[in-house]
Structure 1
Amino acid sequence: MLQRKMKSAADEGRVHLVKPKAGNVGLWMLAWPIFIEIFLQTLLGTVDTVMVSRISDDAVAVVGISNQLFGALITLFTTFAGGAGILVAQRLGSGRQEDARTIAIMGVTASSVLGLAVSIILFLFADPIARSLNISRELIPLAHVYLTYVGGGLFLVGLTASFGAAIRNTGNTRGPMYTGVAVNVIHIVLNYILIFGAFGLPQMGLGGIAISNLISRLLGATVLMVMFCGAFERKIKLRDFGTFKRKLFGEIVKISWPLGLNSSSWVLSQLAIYSFLAMLGAKELAARTYLNTLESFCFTLGYAIAMAGQIRIAHLFGARKLTEVYRGAFRTLYIGLAIVSANVLLLFVFGKTLLGFFTTDQEIISIGVSLLALNLILQPSKMLNMAMGNALNAIGDTRYTMIVSMISMTVIGVGGSYLFGISSGWGLVGIYCCMIADEAARGLLVLRRWRGRKVLHAAEVESGGRQSVQGKGGKTLFKMNV
């Protein structure tokens, strides 16, 4: 009887019950699996960097600048998945399970098609791309190997990110975490075997990392696809990936294109900055790559808190619990700032020792140490920008964050870095100062926007002041723990 009533409600487009785990979640319960997953990804990047450093510092420089390019391209084909993830959380918050399922499918499909196109371009045009990144002539052969084979498999990263985003926004943050653990272990083991020629195999250098990446990413994408197909009340089948509903796809595009431009602008700005570093020299580029790895550890838990806050706020916004939405963003910010500040202080104290794990070149270590104090300002500024920016994205205010980000990153981030870092001769210190100014400017602007409550006021008027999803007879059908 209950099943027939729920089916009838779904057929008529009315709200129906959702899986409990999609709604009854708190910030920490969402955040800790995301933290473990991101931490392991960061650890994997660190292991890659350490292993590559045993090849040469030149190889580290190639991996560093190539990964910035990959980051920029990944945002292009995960744009739909990111926007779809926010809409999935909002739909689940309002109890519309079928719409959430359809949106998730279309987001993954669009990301997969774009990812495959990008991978083909990288595989076919590795050398021209390497030259456009200002990679020196002697490093082009190394760049060719890394861009061709790691870049050629980049669509697998898109698949993994797309499946993971959809699964996490249903409230299941543990599944992607467990998958990440397994993938990272496999990747590290394969790295050791293929790079250094264990068990009698030939030493493959960067080529070994490329093969290891492809195998581990393929396994991860396969596991997450299986998990994704069972993430909703109605199981997703292979034929469902051809699903297309124009109205829902229009909503994905509306929320996604600003997200895509925002993310792409950030990573492209970082890519431009890395090209400036390449102009300074291989040692500066290697120092930034090593320090960037250490900085990632400082920010990992703060990033996880920001991501969990976005999922939670999107669920609450879908349920029209607007007071909790507004307060929840500040709770996310305060927790994130406390964690990031403590971590970056530890980096300041132990940074020189940690840099010694990557290289014995005292000039590179000296360059890295000179930047440690600036991180005491840079990382908290990133947290402010991330927490409040994600909160705005969660309620659909993606155009504002896009406009602010594109202007600030172009003028302050890239323009300032070239002016002070290259033209004025301040080097890495000048570039870092501009990075701080960029993050702080964006953070303060999105904080001001959030305090203005423009979208929240509009949602309150639209919903007539209702703060929860009501069913027949006034019974609450969806509840989110605060």
Structure 2
Amino acid sequence: MRFLGAGGQNGRLMVSSIWTLAWPTVLEQALQTAETYVDTAMVGRLGAGASAAVGLTTTSTWLINSPMFALSIGVLSCIAKADGAGNPKKVRTAAAQSVWLTLLSGAVLGVAGMALSPVLPIWLGVQPEIYRDAYLYFFITSMPMLMRAAMILFGGVLRAVGNTRSPLIVNVIANLINIVLNALLIYHPTKLAGGLVFPGLGLGVAGSAAATAIAQACGGILMFAAFCRDERLTPRGFGLRINRGVMKECVRVALPIAGGRVSACFGQVLFTGLVSRLGTLALATHTIALAAEEAFYVPGYGMQTAASTLAGNAAGEGSKRALRRSSLTITALAVGMMGGMSLFLFLFPSHVMRIFTRNADVVNQGAVLLRMIALSEPMFAVAIIMEGVFNGLGDTRAPLFFSIFCMWGVRIGGTVFCVRLLGLGLVAVWGCMIGDNVTRCVLLSVRFARGSWEKCFNRPCNAPDESGLDAA
């Protein structure tokens, strides 16, 4: 489904086309964030130690998810370009490669996650009293990794052809399963009004992990079913043969993204380790504030996929004008939405923190952090959309270097200096995190303004030598 023609569109029609593509993904991100809110709030009622145990492994989960997200973007870029160029055969060939990439990444990362789970909390400098919960949470959530890979990769494939509603429906179902199972597995039986008893197994943090694992398994199965039902993508009647040319194209785009995400997530793991050394209360505050902030950048990440898809379509059509107009329009929309939401975050940070915890110290310190991050949200929106544009074009090497520099030079380097040398606390740590986001925004914006992406238009994406469709 091509949303932008080479001749471009008037402003109102372009916004309408962008919103048609983006709103299901924005809503999907919002629902996933709502699930995170519910998870964090439910676990938070078990105490600061439980919040810290789950939060400690969150960045490691991001790390292990990184290769799968990168592969999904590689496939999305390839499919979007082929779709923009009117090459349905290559679209289906690239979709077939996603099946192999799902099987490989899910199996390898699942085994790695379960194998590392006993030692990961030790590496992160966990407090002894929360070691068991942190270990069990990461082990259990790593078990359905193949299904998690299916949700991520097949969701990306569906979005690449403009089918954003199916991933939305699947994620709604998975989120509902997770919330219901959280209530059943985390808490002990609870007496309700009228003498009724709400059942519960009282598994605590392990129950939250089990709920997440079951929900991901169901989501993976449903996402694969949606993939098979889409006539533009289904392997039925087409086969699943590995095509070296198309596979190489997908992996070529994915490798720098994977490198950037893995580097960033290793940085996040180290970042969390530095925070954990400030104490359990600081770690709980950091974890809850991060979860609270997540809702306020939902529009940016929701529209990032639309930016990638439209950029890939424009490259396939060979229209630089369509790329500029769609990219700038999406950026303006994301900045407006995230800027408006960040105003609420700035004005009412304590109210947001109280959703997750009743601990007054956590609420007060978290409110300071949220007010700080609210000021940088519009610049973060620009960085999110620009990253999506470059991903859709397959221009991923320079953003890789930007990611490494910002994470390790600005965030980690600044945090080590502030915490280890100056003896500062969590406010300084979040200042370094904000510096990372602002620097990334500037670097990506300058690259886009200079037109460095124009090399992506030099070769037509439907050329046989590039697609590999003529290979034996």
What are the residue-to-residue correspondences of 1:29-428 with 2, within 5 Å? 29-198=20-189, 199-233=198-232, 235-237=234-236, 240-241=239-240, 243-428=241-426
Deviation string 1:281-314 (CA, Å, 9 cap, x unpaired) is 1111111111111211110012212221221121
1:395 CA drift (Å): 1.4
Q: Take 2:458 and 2:139, find their aligned partners in 1: how far apart are those partners? A: 53
1:200 CA drift (Å): 4.3
Change (3 A) 1:20 1:149: same
Q: Take 1:368 and 1:34, find their aligned partners in 2: how far apart are those partners? A: 29
2:404 is aligned with what amino acid? M
Are 2:276 and 2:282, in contact at CA under 8 Å, matched by a contact in 1? Answer: yes
Change (3 A) 1:462 1:216: closer
Change (3 A) 1:197 1:419: same
Change (3 A) 1:48 1:273: same
Q: Take 2:458 and 2:156, find their aligned partners in 1: how far apart are those partners? A: 30
Q: Take 1:264 and 1:108, find their aligned partners in 2: how far apart are those partners? A: 22
Change (3 A) 1:144 1:316: same
1:201 CA drift (Å): 4.5
Compare 98-107 and 221-230 and name the one that shifted more: 98-107
Q: Take 2:339 and 2:78, find their aligned partners in 1: how far apart are those partners? A: 32
Q: Take 1:159 and 1:358, find their aligned partners in 2: how far apart are those partners? A: 30
Q: Take 2:130 and 2:457, find their aligned partners in 1: how far apart are those partners? A: 57
2:341 is aligned with what amino acid? N
Q: Take 1:168 and 1:299, find their aligned partners in 2: how far apart are those partners? A: 20
Change (3 A) 1:212 1:167: same
Compare 111-120 and 161-170 and name the one that shifted more: 111-120
Q: Take 1:213 and 1:21, find their aligned partners in 2: how far apart are those partners? A: 35
Q: Take 1:111 and 1:269, find their aligned partners in 2: how far apart are those partners? A: 25
Q: Take 1:28 and 1:196, find their aligned partners in 2: how far apart are those partners? A: 40
Q: Corresponding residue for 2:469?
A: none
1:232 CA drift (Å): 3.9
Change (3 A) 1:213 1:392: same
Q: Take 1:109 and 1:253, find their aligned partners in 2: how far apart are those partners? A: 12
Are 2:91 and 2:232, in contact at CA under 8 Å, matched by a contact in 1? Answer: no
2:123 is aligned with what amino acid? S
Q: Corresponding residue for 1:444?
A: 442
SS of match in other structure, 1:188 = helix
Are 1:194 and 1:204, in contact at CA under 8 Å, matched by a contact in 2? Answer: yes
Q: Take 2:2 and 2:381, find their aligned partners in 1: how far apart are those partners? A: 30
1:257 is aligned with what amino acid? L
SS of match in other structure, 2:348 = helix
Unaligned runs of 5+ in 2: 6-13, 190-197, 463-472
Q: Take 2:339 and 2:441, find their aligned partners in 1: how far apart are those partners? A: 16
1:391 CA drift (Å): 1.2
Compare 355-364 and 20-29 and name the one that shifted more: 20-29
2:384 is aligned with what amino acid? M
Q: Take 1:130 and 1:338, find their aligned partners in 2: how far apart are those partners? A: 40
1:231 is aligned with what amino acid? D
Q: Take 1:221 and 1:348, find their aligned partners in 2: how far apart are those partners? A: 37
Q: Corresponding residue for 1:12?
A: none
Q: Take 1:89 and 1:279, find their aligned partners in 2: how far apart are those partners? A: 45
SS of match in other structure, 1:119 = helix
Q: Take 1:59 and 1:239, find their aligned partners in 2: how far apart are those partners? A: 49
What are the residue-to-residue correspondences of 1:446-465 with 2, within 5 Å? 446-456=444-454, 458-459=455-456, 462=459
Are 1:22 and 1:92, in contact at CA under 8 Å, matched by a contact in 2? Answer: no
1:107 CA drift (Å): 2.8
Q: TM-score, normalised by structure 1?
A: 0.87
Q: How many residues align?
A: 445
1:220 is aligned with what amino acid? G
Q: Take 2:48 and 2:238, find their aligned partners in 1: how far apart are those partners? A: 48
Q: Corresponding residue for 2:467?
A: none
Q: Corresponding residue for 2:470?
A: none
Deviation string 1:13-72 (CA, Å, 9 cap, x unpaired) is xxxxxx578989821011110011111111111111111012121111111121110111
The root-mean-square deviation of aligned C-alpha atoms, in Å, is 2.2
1:218 is aligned with what amino acid? A
Q: Take 1:238 and 1:286, find their aligned partners in 2: how far apart are those partners? A: 52
Q: Take 1:356 and 1:266, find their aligned partners in 2: how far apart are those partners? A: 29
Are 1:78 and 1:111, in contact at CA under 8 Å, matched by a contact in 2? Answer: no
1:244 is aligned with what amino acid? I
Compare 351-360 and 289-298 and name the one that shifted more: 351-360
Change (3 A) 1:403 1:124: closer
Q: Take 2:285 and 2:53, find their aligned partners in 1: how far apart are those partners? A: 12
Q: Take 1:279 and 1:168, find their aligned partners in 2: how far apart are those partners? A: 41
1:193 is aligned with what amino acid? L
Are 1:26 and 1:312, in contact at CA under 8 Å, matched by a contact in 2? Answer: no
1:424 is aligned with what amino acid? L
Q: Take 1:248 and 1:462, find their aligned partners in 2: how far apart are those partners? A: 15
Are 1:70 and 1:154, in contact at CA under 8 Å, matched by a contact in 2? Answer: no
Q: Take 1:437 and 1:197, find their aligned partners in 2: how far apart are those partners? A: 43
1:275 CA drift (Å): 1.0
Runs of 4+ with >6 A deviation: 20-25
Are 2:53 and 2:130, in contact at CA under 8 Å, matched by a contact in 1? Answer: yes
SS of match in other structure, 2:370 = coil
Q: Corresponding residue for 1:3?
A: none
Q: Corresponding residue for 2:192?
A: none
SS of match in other structure, 2:371 = coil
